Amino acid sequence: MTETFPAAVGPTSRSTREPELRAQLEGQAPASQAPIIQVTDLQKSYKTARGELNLFHGLNLQVERGEMVAIVGQSGAGKSTLLHMLGALDAPSAGTVYCASTNVAQLTPRQAAAFRNREIGYVWQFHYLLPEFTALENVAMPLLARGTNKREALAVAANWLREVGLDDRADHRPGELSGGEQQRVALARALVNNPRLLLADEPTGDLDEITAGRVFELIERLHGSHGLTSILVTHNLDLARRCTRALRLESGRLAPLSA
């Protein structure tokens, strides 16, 4: 099933953000000077039945504010693992990972959860919507987890559903939505807290070609209109080349994607 995406109409980005809690955290980089992402000499190792698996070998990555960066590579290269470390879902074995001016490897689990809620919007290949809740309630979940009162959370969520062209589907549950609609709800949920960073792991991987292109166009539009910095993992080389930069992850390191 293919879909037509209406032009986004809705809330504008916040001009000011909530007071940040980074003073509590160690190892901070100066926010006014540093790139929004700075990864240096990253290593990640896993113990397996066949011995130690070294996924990254001195990987480096720098992303400036406002960039839209695509990462491609073979399955098993570590693309999702890299996103997990940028989003404080996993920790490196060695090296440093500064994300949104915070050394995410030094966060406690509680600090990491607060950091993700405040700074990161995450979109997965599978939408992971809660089937018993409506589209509106699913989008509101991050706000409710943050402590926003229900009335306000639902109002903000409604604006974001309008932003992705689904205000008329607010009362529908995920099982009543198409795959493209489900992913648009997931995108609204990822951005409802107005994060600075959007991390997307194969966001169009489960969609047909036409719907995938339209979802990507929506991501592009929201990236620009909300001043995001975005990193997308994708197998679609055509979509990757539409980003500010496209990088290939291979043999534990990142390199520019050849033309």
> Nearest 5°: phi and psi at 44?
-140, 125
Give pTM, 2 decimals: 0.82
Average pLDDT, the chain: 85
Give domain limits for the chain. 22-256
Q: What is the rounded average pLDDT of the residues 17-25?
A: 39
pLDDT digits (tens, 9 = 90+) for 30-66: 445 568 999 999 988 888 888 788 888 889 999 999 9
pLDDT digits (tens, 9 = 90+) for 74-106: 888 889 999 999 998 888 889 999 988 889 988
- Considering the domain 22-256 in this protein, what is its CATH number? 3.40.50.300
